[in-house]
Amino acid sequence: MLTFIGVGPGDPELMTLKAVRLLCEADAVALSDRGAALRIVRRFVRDKPLLELDLPMRGRREDWEEAHARAAEQLLEWLDRYPRIAFPVLGDPGVYATSGYLYRRVRPCHPCAIVPGVPAMCAAAAALGVPLCEQGERLTVLDRMEEVLPEGNVVVMKADRGLDALRRAAGGRAAYAARNLGMEGEWTGPLAEVPEAGRGYFTTAILKDERSI
């Protein structure tokens, strides 16, 4: 069984009991990098065989497809040796995660499972004390900044690359940001006050229609 396990945005204490159990029971662990996901799960997977997959986040579509096909083949080869492989996924596997592409490639050939986790946007909303959506509100989730933002409440994942444009596009909406939740350099506050130092991948922005505040 290959299990894609949501491990939350950064704080190991945000992992579910099921996630911890399956990590501990796994015969091996597969990862797309040795970064944040491994730091979150490290104490539960010590001494387990580790398969590192090369999965680029950017580049040509053909290269991206080829990398995922190659990673799926590697996973199937490892599943012949290790009956239970855990694949830690930052946040939740259903929210802008590589795991979905791998699941679709591996599932026809071998049993797979998905364990949900706490998405970064939910952890950010909790840290900021700002509900993502309430009665009658619409929430749009984007994986990058767009020139024109949709109406209503908006979450922008991986927002650091477009902070300036995001501030301009916010209009009359209340705007917040959370960076490196549960990691070193954690910061939360108004979008207008996000520090320039420490920019990186793990920034989530939340824009709320002021009429709903």
Question: pLDDT tens digit string along 119-164?
Answer: 999 999 999 999 999 888 899 999 888 777 888 899 999 888 888 8
178 closest CA partner among 120, 131, 97: 120
Q: How far is CA 166 from CA 15, 81, 169, in A?
A: 30, 47, 5
Which of helix, strand or coil describes residue 115?
strand
pLDDT of residue 34: 65
pLDDT of residue 160: 84
Question: pLDDT tens digit string along 48-101?
Answer: 999 999 887 666 767 778 888 999 999 999 999 999 999 999 999 999 888 999
* 153 vs 21: CA distance, rounded Å: 36
What are the residue ranges of helices labelled H in 144-201?
A: 163-169
Q: What value does the mean pLDDT take over residues 19-48?
A: 92
* pLDDT over 80 (residue 28): yes
Domains of the chain: 2-115 (3.40.1010.10), 120-212 (3.30.950.10)
Which of helix, strand or coil describes residue 177?
strand
| pTM of the predicted model as reported, rounded to 2 decimal places | 0.90
Q: What value does the mean pLDDT take over residues 97-125?
A: 95
* 46 vs 28: CA distance, rounded Å: 10
For 93, the token pair is 């596997």
Question: pLDDT tens digit string along 179-206?
Answer: 999 888 899 999 989 887 767 778 999 9
